[in-house]
Amino acid sequence: MKNNVIALIAGLGLSSGAVACPEFLDTEMRKLSSKETINFCESYAGKPMLIVNTASNCGYTSQFSGLESLHQEYKDKGLAVVGFSSDDFFQEENDEADAATVCFEKYDVSFPVMATTSVRGGNANPVFKGLGEAQGYPRWNFNKYVVSGDGEVVAKFGSSVGPDSDELRNLIDQVTVGGE
C-alpha cells in the first residue's frame, strides 16, 4: 500500500516532502509592463519570501537599490524577493512602461515586480489580502512582509525600515534555508 501511495505521489509530480501552497499565494499575476505571468505556488511554494509594495514616485523609492542587494545576497539561500507595484497611495506612474523604467533601468532591479494593483482594503490583490489579514495592510509604500518557506507571514515592516536594517536582515537570516 505504501508503495502505491509513493507511486501516486510521484505520478502527480509531488515529493513526499512537498510543501502545500498557502491560499493567499494560490494565484497567478502579470509582471510589470509584460505579458509574462507568475504563478506564485509554482514559483515560490516552499521558499521564504520578502514581499514589498512599491511605487516609482515615493520618497522611499531608493529602497529598490537595497532590495536588489538583498535579492542578490539571499537568492542562493532560497529567498524570493517580489515587488508589487501599487498606486494605492497615488505615487505610482500612470503608465506601466514608465514604472518599469524606474524599476528595471534606474535601479537595475532583477527580482520580479508585479503589474500595478491594489495592495490594501477590499480591492487588494489575493497576495496582499492574505498579508493584510495576517499582519495588517500597508499604510504606505515599501512595506515589507517576510513569509517563511511554509507560508507563514512572519512579520511586517513599515516603510521606514530599510532593506539594510539589522532587524529585517536578522529575520531574513532566520527564515532562509539553514537559518544561516
Cα angle 106, 49, 159 (rounded to 5 degrees) comes to 55
Q: Which residue would you say has higher pLDDT here, 7 or 120?
A: 120
Torsion of CA 166, 70, 45, 77, to 10 degrees: -90
Catalytic positions are 58
Closest by CA to 164, choosing from 82, 60, 46, is: 60
Measured distance CA(35)–CA(94) in Å, rounded: 18
pLDDT in tens, 14-35: 444 556 789 999 999 999 999 9
Which structural domains are found in the chain, ordered by start? 19-179 (3.40.30.10)
pLDDT in tens, 44-71: 989 999 999 999 999 999 999 999 999 9
- Asked whether residue 3 carries a pLDDT value surpassing 90, the answer given is no
pLDDT for 12: 41
User: Rounded to two decimals, what is the model's pTM?
Assistant: 0.88
pLDDT in tens, 160-171: 999 999 999 999
